[in-house]
Amino acid sequence: MTLKEFLKSKTFICIVVLLVIALVCGGLLAIMNDLLAVTEEEKMQRAIKKIYGGNVDYEEIAVAEEYKTNEFGSVDGVYAFKDGNYLIKTTGGKGFQGGTVTLWIVAEYKDGAFEGFKSVAVDSYEKQTLMSSFDDNFTGVYSSDRSDRGVKEGKNFGLQNSDNEIGNIVSGATRTSNAFNNAVNAALYYIRNVLEGGK
């Protein structure tokens, strides 16, 4: 087949048509992405609204480099609220297919002492296909009285109840449950080692 024949062939036309459609669609998406992108500030306000039911004044706390990651995941942001509580954004690893779950966690403080978690909300996730199974019953465990007691005893969250762990699992979605627990444990690590000064 000569070049001239190839340029007139059905194969070439198919390739060109698909490429043009891909380019136009890609260009359109790039423009829309610029127009409709959700900024970090908007995400932050949404997270606060979701947890507090309204906008609250806060101050961002710089996370020291050595505390940005720990054995459970990463601490992506820490914010101090005017009411004494802290909002911590963490990402827990070792989820389904090695993916992650990113959470917004409110650490409740009374008279300067850590009382437990007030609430936990999902920010985003990667590779987790069963996120719809994780309802308020699952996230509610982190802020339950049982968890508050366990956390004060120095326990972390895990898949099963044990001497060292407070169990929280969705049956059939073990890996994603693991990522959730790791995200909350990452916050616990930060609270114990930084906010509580290593207590």
Cα three-residue angle 190-193-194, rounded to 5 degrees: 70
Contacts with other proteins: how many residues (CB under 8 A)?
Answer: 19
Measured from the CB atom, the residue of 61 and 130 that comes closer to other proteins is 130
Q: Does 18 bind other proteins (CB under 8 A)?
A: yes
In terms of phi and psi (left: phi > 0; alpha: psi -120 to 50; beta: otherwise), the region of 80 is beta
Contact of 178 with 100, CB cutoff 8 Å:
no
Measured from the CB atom, the residue of 53 and 198 that comes closer to other proteins is 53
Contact window for other proteins (CB under 8 A) among 21-29, 51-59, 137-145, 160-168 = 21-29
* Structural tokens at position 11: 């194969």
Q: Does 94 bind other proteins (CB under 8 A)?
A: no
Q: Does 17 bind other proteins (CB under 8 A)?
A: yes
Contact of 185 with 94, CB cutoff 8 Å:
no
Q: Does 136 bind other proteins (CB under 8 A)?
A: no
Site for other proteins in 35-64 (CB under 8 A): 36-38, 46
Report the residue from 2, 33, 55, 137 that binds other proteins according to the rule CB under 8 A. 33
Give the Cα separation of 158 and 169 in Å (integer): 8
Strand partners, 110: 113
Q: How many CB atoms lie within 10 A of CB 20?
A: 10
- Pairing of β 58-61 and β 73-81: antiparallel
Report the residue from 56, 61, 131, 159 that binds other proteins according to the rule CB under 8 A. 131
Report the residue from 6, 8, 29, 196 that binds other proteins according to the rule CB under 8 A. 29
Report the residue from 2, 5, 10, 41 that binds other proteins according to the rule CB under 8 A. 10
Contact window for other proteins (CB under 8 A) among 16-24, 56-64, 89-97, 171-179 = 16-24
* Structural tokens at position 146: 């049982």
* Structural tokens at position 85: 């509580």
- The residues that touch other proteins, with contacts defined as CB under 8 A, are 10, 13-14, 17-18, 21-22, 25, 28-29, 32-33, 36-38, 46, 129, 131-132
